[in-house]
A and B are shown apart, each in its own frame.
Chain A
Amino acid sequence: MEPLVVLQFAAPVAIAAVGETVCQRGGIINIGLEGTMLAGAFFATLTSLATQNPWLGILVGIAAGTIVSLISSWFTVKLAADQVVVGTAINLLAMGVTSTLFRSRFGQSGQLLSVPGLKPFAVIPYLGPIDGVVLFLLLSIPLVRYLLWGTTWGLALRASGEYPKSAEAAGFSVGKLRVGAMAIGGLFGGLAGAYLSLGIAGTFAENMTSGRGFVAIAMVTFGRWRPGFVFAAALLVGFAESMQFRVQTLNLHIPFQFLVAAPYILALLVLVIVGKGSVAPAALGVAYKREK
C-alpha cells in the first residue's frame, strides 16, 4: 500500500492527537475530543451537501469543533468542573445532537449519502495521493512544536500544565491560556472529524468516529506529549486500520472482527508498555482555581 494512503487513514487520529497534545500540555485532558470530532464530521457533511463545496464543509467542521471545545472549556476552566465528567457529557451531547439531526433529516434508519468529498490535488509517484488536509497535518507538526517551545505563549501554557501557580505568578492567566489551548484542540478535532467524513468515508454515519477521539488521546500518551512522536504513534494506528483492507485482498485467514479491533488493541498494548511515566504534565486533569 502506498505510504500516503496509510497517512490518509492515520490523518483523523493524527490531527486530533496533535491538537490534544496542545490541550494536555496546558493541563487539560479533553475527554470530549470524540464528541468534538463527531460534531466536525456531521456539520462538515451537512455543509458540503448543501453547498456542494467540500472546502466550505471543512471550514464549518472546524468551526463546529472549536465551538464544542469552547463550550467544554467553559465548564472545565471557568467553572473548574471535573474534566472527565464534562468530557463524557460533551461526547453524549454531540452524539445525541448529530444523531437526532441526522435522523430527522435523512430518516430513522440513516441512509447512505453521497457527499461531495475532498479530492487529492496531486498524486506523487510511489508515494500516492495527497490532499490539502494531509498537507496541513504535515505542516502543523513543526508549527505546533514551534508554538509550544518557541513562543512565550507556549512556555506559559506548558507552565500552566506543569505548575499553574508559576504561570499565574509570572503574570499569565491560566484560565485564558487553557481556553486558548482548548480552542486549538477544538480546531484540530473539528478538522479531524471533517476529514473523516469528507476525506475518507465520503458520507456521515451515526457515531462514525467510533472511538477515534479516545485512540487519539491514547496516542498523546504514547507519543509522550511531543507533536512529532504523537504523529508517529498515530501513523501506527493508521497502519493498523489500513490493514483491514489489505488483509482482505491478501486473503489471510484472520477473523475480520479481529482486524476491526486491531487499532484499539494496539492502543491498549502501547499504553501498557509505556505506562504513564514521569513526563506527563504534572497538573494534567487538575482544575485550577485562583485563590481569593
Chain B
Amino acid sequence: MKRAAITIVGLATILILTLLVFNLPLANSLGFLAKGAFGDKFAIARTILKTVPLTLTGLGILVAWRAGMYNIGGEGQFIVGGIAGAWMAKSALQANLPAPAITVLILVACMAGGAGWAGIAAWMQVKRGVEVVISTILLNFVAIQLLNYVAAGPLQEAKKQLPLTDLLPAQVMLPKFDRQTDLHAGIFIVLAAVALVYVYLFLTKGGFRLRLVGENPRVARANLVNAHSVQFRAMLLSGALCGLAAGVEYTALAGQLGAGFSQNWGFLAIPVALLSNLHPLLLLLSALYFGALFSGSENLARFTTAGTTLIYVIQAAAVLGFVALRSIADKKPVQTEAA
C-alpha cells in the first residue's frame, strides 16, 4: 500500500513539475489533459486504444528484460512485424482464403516477423557477445528504412501513388464494438496476452528459468540452466509480442502501412515496462497511465504550445525517480563484483 501511495504521489508530482517547468498554465493544462483522456466516451476510447499497443509492446520489453536481455528495439520489432503482416496479407488475399483465416495468418506473420527481427539481436548477443542494447537500437533504424522501402516498393498500393500499402478489406479487419469509438476486439488479445505472460513467468518451469537467468546468472549456471538458450527464447517471445502489437494496430485500426505506422510504441514501451517493476499485471496499469497521458496530451497540444513530446519528459522523470527511490531504499548488503 505504501509503495502504491508513493508511486501515485510521485507520478502526480512529476506531472505537475513538468507542466510548471515548461511554463504551462497548471490548472488549465491539467484540465485539458483530463478532458482529453477521460472527458467523454470518445476520450476514454482513445485512452484505451493507446493502452493496447503500449501493453503489448510493454509485455515484449518486460519478457526480455526479465531474462537480462536489454531489448530496446521494440520499435524495430513492431515495424518488421507489421511488414511481415502486410506481406502475408498480400499473399493470403491473392490466395482467396476465408477472411477469418487471413486475419489469423496476418497476426501470426506479424509475430513471426517481430520474433525474427529480435532473433537477429539475440543471435548477436549469444554467439558474438554483442550487447543487445546496442544491436536492437541499430536494428530499429534499419527497420524504419526497410518499411520506407517496402511501402514505396514491393508492397506499395496497387495505384502506385502514395508510399503506403493497400488498405485491408473490411472483412479481414478485427471486429469493432461500435462504429463511433473504434474500440476493437484487440482488447481481448491484450488481456489474454497479459494473463498468458503472467502465467508463463510465474507458474511455469520455463518462466522460472527465464527469471532465474535474469536475476542470478550464477545460480542458473550452477543448476545447469542453459542461459543462452533461455535468453534466446526470451528475445523471440519479446519480439513476437512487439510484432503482435503491430498486428493488432494493423488489422484493427490502420489497415495499411506507411512511414507513420508506429507512433513510437516500441520506444514508449520501455518506461512503461520499467515503471511496472517488470510485472505483467502492474504493466497494465502503467500502460493505462501513459495511454491516458498520450490521449490527454493530444488534447493539450490543441490548446497550448506543448504536445505529445511531454510524455517523454514525464516518462524519463518517472523512471529516474523510480531508480533513485529504489537505490536509496536499497539497504541490502552490497555485493561487490569480483572479476
Contacts and interface: CB of A to CB of B under 8 A. Distances in A.
A226 interface: no
B254 interface: no
30 contacts: A31-B133, A75-B327, A81-B326, A85-B319, A85-B323, A88-B271, A89-B316, A90-B320, A91-B316, A92-B313, A93-B320, A96-B313, A100-B306, A103-B306, A211-B140, A214-B134, A214-B138, A215-B138, A218-B134, A258-B145, A261-B145, A264-B141, A268-B124, A271-B130, A272-B130, A275-B129, A276-B129, A289-B334, A289-B336, A291-B334
Contact of B124 (A84, A206, A217, A272): A272
Interface residues of B, number: 50
B312 A92 contact: yes
Chain A binding surface SS class: helix
Interface in A257-292: 257-258, 260-261, 264-265, 267-268, 271-272, 275-277, 282-283, 286, 288-292
A276 B134 contact: no
Given A267-B138, A268-B139, A84 B311 contact: no
A81 to B, nearest CB: 5
A272 B135 CA distance: 10
B146 interface: yes
Given A211-B137, A268-B142, A292-B334, A90 B128 contact: no
B337 A283 contact: yes
A81 B324 contact: yes
A75 B322 CA distance: 11
B315 interface: yes
A290 to B, nearest CB: 8
A214 B312 contact: no
B250 to A, nearest CB: 20
A95 interface: yes
Q: Is the interface of B mostly helix, strand, loop or mixed?
A: helix
Interface of B: 22, 70, 72, 124, 128-131, 133-135, 137-142, 145-146, 148-149, 152-153, 270-271, 274, 301, 305-307, 309-317, 319-320, 323-324, 326-328, 334, 336-337, 339
A82 interface: yes
Interface of A: 29, 31, 75, 79-82, 84-86, 88-93, 95-97, 99-101, 103-104, 108, 163, 165, 206, 210-211, 214-215, 217-218, 221, 255, 257-258, 260-261, 264-265, 267-268, 271-272, 275-277, 282-283, 286, 288-292
Nearest to A290: B334
A268 B313 contact: no
Given A100-B313, A271-B130, A108 B324 contact: no
A96 B309 contact: yes
Nearest to B136: A214
A100 B133 contact: no
A84 B271 contact: no
A78 B72 CA distance: 25
